[in-house]
C-alpha cells in the first residue's frame, strides 16, 4: 500500500499513505524521516507550525533515496493571510528545509488558530492573498502542487471561483467515529483529493471496544483498521509516529474491510473529545 499512489488533478502522483510528523521534535524529525523512508514511506507531511521543518528537511536530504522519489508536504501557517507574508513564508520553508523545491504546500487553516470555531469570519480575502502567493510559487516551479487544510465548502469555493489554480488536496480531520462525509463528497466532486490527518483519532479510538472487536475479526490492530478505513473511503491517511515499529505496522494494511463492516464503521459518530489536543474544525456540521 505504501508504494501505491493517487493522481492529483494536475497529474502529479502522490503516495496513498504518508508519515505525519506533528509533535515530533525538530531534533528527532530527521531520524524519524530516515526510518520511515527505510521502511518504504515516500510521503512525509510537516508544517511551519510544527517547528520541525529543518529536521524533516535534513531527513529528506540524508535518507539515501533520490529526491524525486519522495513527496514532501508542508503547510503555510494559519495566521498568514497576506500575499507578502505568504511569499516570505514559502521561501522561508524552502530555505529552512534545504530543498530546491517542495512537492506541496497547503494553507493550514482558513482561519488563524485563535479564530477557529470562535468567529464567523472565514478570512476570504486573506486566503485569496495567501493562495495567490502559492499559485505563483507553483507556476514558478518551487512547488509541484498546492492545496488547503481544514477548509469547508465555502472556503474552497472562494479559491475556485476567484483563483487561477484549483486546490489539489484538502487535508482534514477524518477517522472512524468522526468522518465528515459532507466535505469529503464535496471535494471528490471537485476532483480534490482528501487527506486524513490523525486517522487514529489522536489515540482516543484505541479505547473503543466496538472498533476493537471489528479489528480482531481481521487480526489487525485498531490503528491498522483505522488506516485501512480511510484508504477504502478513497482518503489519504497520514498517521503520525516516530516509532519504527508503529511505522511498519501502519504500512501493513493490505487487508480488505468487508462492505458490512465499512457500513458499521461509517455509521459511528462517537469520537469528538480529543482532550489535550484542543480545538479542531467542524465542517458545517455535515457529518
Structural domain containing residue 93: 5-202+236-244
CATH of residue 143's domain is 3.20.20.100
Query: Does residue 111 fall inside a structural domain?
Result: yes
What is the DSSP annotation of 218-280? TT--HHHHHHHHHHHTT-EEE-B-S-HHHHHHHH-------HHHHHHHHH-------GGG---
Query: Does residue 208 fall inside a structural domain?
Result: no
Query: Does residue 144 fall inside a structural domain?
Result: yes
**Known catalytic membership, residue 50:** yes
The SS3 call for residue 144 is: strand
Q: What is the pLDDT of residue 277?
A: 59
pLDDT tens digits, the chain, 287 residues: what are they? 788 999 999 999 999 999 999 999 999 999 999 999 999 999 999 999 999 999 999 999 999 999 999 999 999 999 999 999 999 999 999 999 999 999 999 999 999 999 988 889 999 999 999 999 999 999 999 999 999 999 999 999 999 999 999 999 999 999 999 999 999 999 999 999 999 999 999 999 999 999 999 999 999 999 999 999 999 999 999 999 999 999 999 999 999 999 999 999 999 998 887 766 554 554 443 32
Q: Which residue has the cell 461509517?
A: 266
Given the residues 6, 41, 50, 101, the one annotated as active site: 50
CA 158 – CA 197 distance, rounded (Å):
23
Q: What is the pLDDT of residue 118?
A: 86
Minimal CA–CA distance to 102: which of 130, 76, 129, 65? Answer: 76
Q: What is the pLDDT of residue 31?
A: 98
Q: Which stretches within the chain are classed as H helix?
A: 26-38, 53-62, 83-97, 124-139, 153-162, 181-189, 209-217, 222-232, 244-251, 259-267
Q: What is the CA radius of gyration of the chain?
A: 18
Number of domains within the chain: 1
Residue pair 89/48 in contact by the 8 Å Cβ criterion: yes
Q: What is the pLDDT of residue 280?
A: 54
CA 247 – CA 19 distance, rounded (Å):
8
pTM strictly above 0.85: yes
Query: Does residue 267 fall inside a structural domain?
Result: no
What phi-psi label fits residue 189: left (phi over 0), alpha (psi between -120 and 50 degrees) or beta?
Answer: alpha
CA 275 – CA 37 distance, rounded (Å):
31
Query: Does residue 70 fall inside a structural domain?
Result: yes
Q: What is the pLDDT of residue 1?
A: 77
Query: Does residue 264 fall inside a structural domain?
Result: no
Query: Does residue 19 fall inside a structural domain?
Result: yes
CA 239 – CA 231 distance, rounded (Å):
12
Query: Does residue 185 fall inside a structural domain?
Result: yes
Amino acid at each position: 500500500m505504501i508504494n501505491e499512489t493517487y493522481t492529483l488533478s494536475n497529474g502529479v502522483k502522490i503516495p496513498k499513505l504518508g508519515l505525519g510528523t506533528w509533535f515530533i521534535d525538530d531534533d528527532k524529525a530527521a531520524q524519524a524521516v530516515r526510518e520511515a523512508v527505510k521502511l518504504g514511506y515516500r510521503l512525509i507531511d510537516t508544517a511551519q507550525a510544527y517547528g520541525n521543518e529543518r529536521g524533516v528537511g535534513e531527513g529528506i536530504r540524508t535518507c539515501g533515496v533520490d529526491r524525486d522519489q519522495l513527496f514532501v508536504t508542508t503547510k503555510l501557517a494559519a495566521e498568514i493571510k497576506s500575499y507578502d507574508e505568504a511569499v516570505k513564508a514559502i521561501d522561508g520553508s524552502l530555505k529552512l528545509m534545504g530543498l530546491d523545491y517542495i512537492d506541496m504546500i497547503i494553507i493550514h487553516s482558513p482561519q488563524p488558530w485563535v479564530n477557529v470555531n470562535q468567529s464567523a469570519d472565514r478570512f476570504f480575502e486573506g486566503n485569496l492573498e495567501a493562495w495567490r502567493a502559492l499559485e505563483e510559487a507553483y507556476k514558478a516551479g518551487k512547488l509541484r502542487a498546492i492545496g488547503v487544510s481544514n477548509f469547508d465548502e465555502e472556503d474552497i469555493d472562494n479559491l475556485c471561483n476567484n483563483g487561477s489554480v484549483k486546490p489539489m488536496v484538502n487535508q482534514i480531520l477524518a477517522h472512524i467515529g468522526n468522518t465528515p462525509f459532507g466535505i469529503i463528497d464535496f471535494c471528490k466532486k471537485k476532483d480534490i483529493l482528501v487527506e486524513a490527518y490523525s486517522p487514529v483519532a489522536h489515540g482516543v479510538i484505541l479505547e473503543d471496544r466496538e472498533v476493537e472487536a471489528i479489528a480482531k475479526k481481521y487480526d489487525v490492530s485498531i490503528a491498522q483498521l483505522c488506516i485501512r478505513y480511510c484508504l477504502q473511503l478513497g482518503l489519504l491517511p497520514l498517521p503520525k509516529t516516530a516509532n519504527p515499529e508503529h511505522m511498519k505496522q501502519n504500512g501493513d494494511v493490505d487487508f480488505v474491510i468487508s462492505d458490512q463492516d465499512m457500513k458499521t464503521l461509517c455509521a459511528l459518530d462517537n469520537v469528538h473529545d480529543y482532550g489535550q489536543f484542543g480545538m479542531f474544525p467542524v465542517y458545517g456540521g455535515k457529518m
